[in-house]
Structure formats: structure tokens, C-alpha cells
Structure 1
Amino acid sequence: MIRLGFSKSYRDSLDELELKKQKEDVKNFFLKNGLYIAMLVFITFVAISRPAFLSTQSIVNNINLVAKRLPIALGIAGLIIISATDLSAGRILGITALVSTALLQRADYPTKLFPELGNMSILLVLVCVIIIGALFGLFNGFFVAKFKIHPFIVTLGTQLIIQTLALSLLNLNGNSGQALGGLRPEFTELITGGFYIGGIKIQFYIIYAIIITAIIWFIWNKTIFGKNIFAIGSNAEAAAVSGINVDRVIIVTFILAGVLFGINGFIESAVVGSNSATTGVGAEFDAIAACVIGGISFSGGIGKVRGVVVGVLLLQLITTSLIFLGISPEWQYAIKGLVIIVTVAIDMRKTIARK
């Protein structure tokens, strides 16, 4: 009898543990995926209530916008993984877009910023904006790594410096701050041209975004540098003890991010067509939001390329959904802000749970 009673008590304990584990699994599932579920429910509601949301043109427009925003998001993601960020990302994008436009205006454009400049090689201009982005990344990374200044402060200062440079560029040769346009058609064709599949135009910059994403995936997953990024984000002190040059990795990560911002500016110049001092303003906030939605943890050391892609896609679908619902732009900003706060709160909750 004693043995039977003991066995029953033991079985009861096992049942309680199993029930507790099941509850914990359900809790963890909703903690991990709750935001995604809520977003998908919202997007589904919009798709049902606004059928045009799922029209071919709407889908193509969303894909185009996702492709346009992927490079900056991938750059920001790499920085978040090392527990950093870059508030100057949008301004780097903006000034490289302005430089691209200024150097690739038509020779006969009436208000050409540099009238004495001939038709520069498009490839040479791309190299120029990549170098510009890399230099700003080097500047940010140097002060973060060598002087241990918080990335928020460094990149905020860089943001203000770049805005001054952008305004100065727009005031050259009597331009008086006017937007730059008149791009050479062969340049816009290289970016916004494309080919047709089933009557649907696939623009070239979608292909470029796919190539860039594949390169970043390779860097993150198949190189020593990529492994070092995650190691530093997880524990910088342990990474240093293991022989990783932490300062060098931080600087190179900022440089890589700057290169991506520069490439994004090059693409943006052709997509927008007429670029001004406001080009790229606030783009870093959408990129940060997309990263946190995509599971790039602010605690560092956690994130996947596919998560960035999913994050950019979901954020774009939410933005489009709000437009279809007739939500005013100012409330769209508020909703995006709320999404960021909720996502980071969930991320921090998951971090605490892991510890």
C-alpha cells in the first residue's frame, strides 16, 4: 500500500510538471511569436476589408519598397548585433543620394549643379558613394571603438555634421538649396528599369537587393568576421579574452554599414528622381523598427538575415495597411513608435527569461 501510494504521488508530480511545462511552452510561444501573430491578424483584416490591398499592383509596390529599404536595414542589423546603432544612417543615405544625383545629372539640364562636369562613369559614381559611406562608417566606428563613446552620441553628432554638408552641397553654384533632378536616363534605367514576367515588371534594384542580402548572409554565416560580430555582441569581454580584436571588428562593422547606406543612397537617388536635404531623413528609424520586428536583439549577439527581410516586409505591410485604412501620416508615426516599444519590451523580456 505504501508503495502504491508513493507511485500515485510520483505520477501526480509528473503530471503537474508536465502541465507546468506545457503552460510554459505556450507562454514562450506567444512571447516569441505574439507580435507576429497580431501583425498577421491585422494585415489579414485589412486584406479582407480592403480587397485592393492584395491587388497585383499593390503587391508589386510593396516588394519594390521592401527591396529599396533592405540595404539600410541590413547595415543597421549588423550594428545592433554588436549592441550598437547608427542614428546617422538616414543622413548617410541622403547625402550619398545627393552626391549621386549631382554627379549623374544630364549635361543639358538647365540647373545642373556642376555645369562644367561631363558625363561621369556610373560605376565611378557608385565607387565614390561607397567610399563616402565607408568613411562616415569609419568615423563613427573609430570614436565608438577607440574612445568608448556610446554609439547613440557619436552617430547623433555625425547626423548633424552630415546635414550641414548636405545643405552646403545644395547651396553650391547658386542652387540655393533647391532639390536636384535631371538624372541621366541610362542611370535611372539601370536602377528602375527591369524585365517582365507574366506582364509584371521586375525592377533591377530588386535583383540588387537580393544580391546584397545574399552577400550579407554569407558574411554573417560563413566568415570569421561574421562569427566575431556575434561573439562580440554576446559578450565583448569574453570575445577579447578569446583573442578577437574587438575594436577592429567594431570599426569594420560600422564601415560595412556605411557601405550599405551608401549603396542605398545610390539606389534611392534614381528611385526618387528629385533629391533634396530631406532625402533619407528618418530612414534609420524604419530600419531599426524592421530589425527589432525581425528578431535582431538589442541585447546583442542574436539575429538572422531572414529576420531582417521578414521585419522589413512586415513593417512595409503595416505601413501599406495603415494607408489603405486611411490613417493619417502623423498617426502612422505613432503606431510605428508603439510597435518599436512593444517589440523591444518583448525582446528584453525574452532576454531576462534566457538568463
Structure 2
Amino acid sequence: MGKDVKSLLFKYKSLIGLIILCLAISCVAPRFLTITNMLNVFTQVSVNAIIAVGMCFVILTGGIDLSVGSTLAIAGAVAATLAQKNFNIFIILVVVLIIGGLIGFINGIIVSKGKIQAFIVTLATMTVFRGVTYVYTNGTPISGLGSSFTVIGNGTLAGIPVPVIIIILVVLVAWYVLSQTRYGRYVYAVGGNEDSARLSGINTDKIKSLVYVLCGVTAALSAVVVTSRIGSASPNAGSGFELDAIAAVVLGGTSLSGGEGSVIGTIIGAMIIGVLNNGLNLMNVSPFYQLIVKGLVILLAVMLDKKNK
């Protein structure tokens, strides 16, 4: 019985951690559990959560994508340019998602066909596409976006912020793909043991390439949300976002070695980071100390994951 309880607690450790964190913060900061603040938390978490969903696919295969922040920057800059010229929002979305998919395709092809470590490949493309963003924007923010575009990041539907609705849709699609489709089973198989997956007839190169495409698409989608919400696109946008996305995936219980994890866990991980940031802000904790706390929480999650192996 003891082992069963321990196993159950460990299985849902991320959710339990989130609940304990929420209760602890609400005791110190009573404003935390208000409806207004919780909607604010969900909205703030949406950008990282969208990126983290794509990152989850990549990490499940045993890879990593450090270029998502740069992908967000260039995609956001293009979205802002099109919004300035009053392009239809659906056209902007299609163009931006294609850009994100192409960047992911480049990463995926080099990783899968070139047999180069994903860390090195995406570190290089992170630098390249950040440079491309600076060249494209001439190092200056792009502003003056139309109101029809900014509604994506600031609007509401039936009282629910649009970014929250977007992340719900993204999670539902990602959950279905991973848990209900053959491709999802193949993603877990490649992450669990790539050689065995290849010997069983799975096109591992195709599976790995596609997860980077998906990651690029989610980074581009998050670019539309954040650019719309801020009302401008900065060449520095997305800096450090790759670390928050990776942290959300790890905190959600996905193994960095691949083959184990879930999208739902990733969203819980993103919520832990968002709740932690919001709670520390409500308690007027210095941003410098917030970084220390966040780093320690991530380290604890990795240690717990390692202990379970």
C-alpha cells in the first residue's frame, strides 16, 4: 500500500506541487486567488505555455530547441509589419506560421539528416535568426499596429481572454496528436529508444524533423499573441523564452532523455512558473531574487526526475 501511494504521489507530483504552491501564496498574498488575478496569470502564462507545448514534442524525442526565442522574434517582426499594412489577421497568421514551420524544418532536417546534436544545431540557428531579426528590423521596434490585430492579445470572448482560449485549443490538439494518433506513439517510441524504433520500421528522421516543425509553429503562434498584446515587435523579443519553455516541460514531468512525459504535465509546469512569478510579484520580491527562486525550483524538479530513474 505504501509503495502504491508513493507511486501515485510521484506520478502527480507536478499537479500536487502546483496546488501546494497556490495555497502557500494565497496565505501570504490574499489577492492571489481573486478571479481577476487568476485570469491575469492564465494570460501571462499563455505565451510560454504555447511554446512549451511545441518544446514538449521535441524533448519527448530526446532533442531540444534553443531557437524558439529567435523564431518568436522574427515571426513577431513579420507579423507587426503585415499588421502595420492592415493585412487580414488570417493572412498574418498563415504567413507567420509558415515562417515558424520553415525555421523548424531547417532545424529538423539538420538534426535528423545531418546527425548533429540538437543542442548545437539550435544554438547556431538561435544566433542566426536573432541576427536576421536585427537586420530585418534595423534594430528598432515595429509599432503602430492596427486595433484589429491587437485584439488577439488583449481581447476577450465570453469574458475569457483570447490568449487563454488559444492555449486551450493548442493543448487539445497536441493532447490528441500525442495520445490518440500513430504519430504520437512514434514520438514516444523514438524518444524511448531511437535504434529500436528504426529497426521496427519507424521513419525516425521524419518523426524527428516534424517535431521541430511543430515547435517552430508554436513559437510563431506565440509571437502573434505577444506582439498583439504589447502592440509592437522588438528585435529583442523572446530572449530567454527558450529557457522558460524547457523549464515548463521539465517541471511538468517530461524526461530530458525523451520517451516520457505529457502535454498536460507541460501546461502544469508552465502554470507553476507563472504562479511563482505572479506570487513573488504580489509579495514585492525583487526580480533578482525571483530568478534565484525559479532556478532552484527547476533544479529541484530535475533532481526529483533523476531520482525516479
With the shorter chain as reference, the TM-score category is over 0.9
Distance in 1 of aligned mates of 2:157 and 2:218: 25
Match of 1:272 in 2: 230
* SS of 2:307 mapped into structure 1: helix
Q: Is 1:41 matched with 2:20?
A: yes
The aligned amino acid for 1:125 is I
In the alignment, is the contact (CA less than 8 A) between 2:14 and 2:268 conserved in 1?
A: no
Give the direction of change, closer, same or farther, for the CA distance of 1:210–1:31 in structure 2 (3 Å limit).
closer
Match of 2:146 in 1: 184
> Higher relative CO (CA 8 A, sep ≥ 6), structure 1 or 2?
2
Q: CA deviation at 1:32?
A: 4.9
Q: CA deviation at 1:228?
A: 0.6
Match of 2:132 in 1: 165
In the alignment, is the contact (CA less than 8 A) between 1:289 and 1:336 conserved in 2?
A: no
Q: Is 1:317 matched with 2:275?
A: yes
Decide which of 301, 306, 314 is 2:259's aligned counterpart: 301
Decide which of 260, 264, 278 is 2:218's aligned counterpart: 260
Q: CA deviation at 1:333?
A: 1.6
Match of 1:17 in 2: none
* SS of 2:133 mapped into structure 1: helix
Q: Is 1:140 matched with 2:129?
A: no
Task: Report Cα offsets for 1:24-74 as digits up to 9, x if no partner.
Answer: 556555655566655543432221121111222211101212233221010
Task: Report Cα offsets for 1:289-327 as digits up to 9, x if no partner.
Answer: 111111111121111221112111122111111112222
Match of 1:350 in 2: 308
In the alignment, is the contact (CA less than 8 A) between 2:18 and 2:271 conserved in 1?
A: no
Q: Is 1:222 matched with 2:180?
A: yes
Question: 5+ unaligned residues in a row in structure 1: which ranges?
Answer: 1-20, 106-117, 172-176
Decide which of 35, 60, 63 is 1:84's aligned counterpart: 63
The aligned amino acid for 1:183 is L
Match of 1:241 in 2: 199
Distance in 1 of aligned mates of 2:13 and 2:224: 37
Distance in 1 of aligned mates of 2:153 and 2:130: 25
Q: CA deviation at 1:252?
A: 0.8
Distance in 2 of aligned mates of 1:210 and 1:247: 30
The aligned amino acid for 1:317 is V
Distance in 1 of aligned mates of 2:203 and 2:111: 14
In the alignment, is the contact (CA less than 8 A) between 2:59 and 2:256 conserved in 1?
A: yes
Match of 2:248 in 1: 290
Give the direction of change, closer, same or farther, for the CA distance of 1:38–1:205 in structure 2 (3 Å limit).
closer
TM-score by length of 1: 0.82
Decide which of 290, 295, 303 is 1:332's aligned counterpart: 290
Q: How does 1:90-129 map to 2 (within 5 A)?
A: 90-105=69-84, 118-129=85-96
TM-score by length of 2: 0.94
Question: Identity of paired residues, percent?
Answer: 33
The aligned amino acid for 2:116 is I
Distance in 1 of aligned mates of 2:16 and 2:268: 13
Paired positions, count? 309
Task: Report Cα offsets for 1:94-139 as digits up to 9, x if no partner.
Answer: 211111111111xxxxxxxxxxxx4323222211111111111111
Q: CA deviation at 1:204?
A: 2.0
In the alignment, is the contact (CA less than 8 A) between 2:142 and 2:233 conserved in 1?
A: yes
Distance in 1 of aligned mates of 2:22 and 2:153: 30
The aligned amino acid for 2:30 is P
The aligned amino acid for 1:227 is R
Extract structure 1 runs of 4+ deviating beyond 4 A. Answer: 24-39
The aligned amino acid for 1:259 is V
Give the direction of change, closer, same or farther, for the CA distance of 1:227–1:28 in structure 2 (3 Å limit).
closer
Give the direction of change, closer, same or farther, for the CA distance of 1:36–1:125 in structure 2 (3 Å limit).
closer
Distance in 2 of aligned mates of 1:52 and 1:88: 36
In the alignment, is the contact (CA less than 8 A) between 2:191 and 2:259 conserved in 1?
A: yes
Q: Is 1:52 matched with 2:10?
A: no
Larger radius of gyration: 1
Distance in 1 of aligned mates of 2:275 and 2:86: 39
Give the direction of change, closer, same or farther, for the CA distance of 1:181–1:340 in structure 2 (3 Å limit).
same
Q: CA deviation at 1:232?
A: 0.4
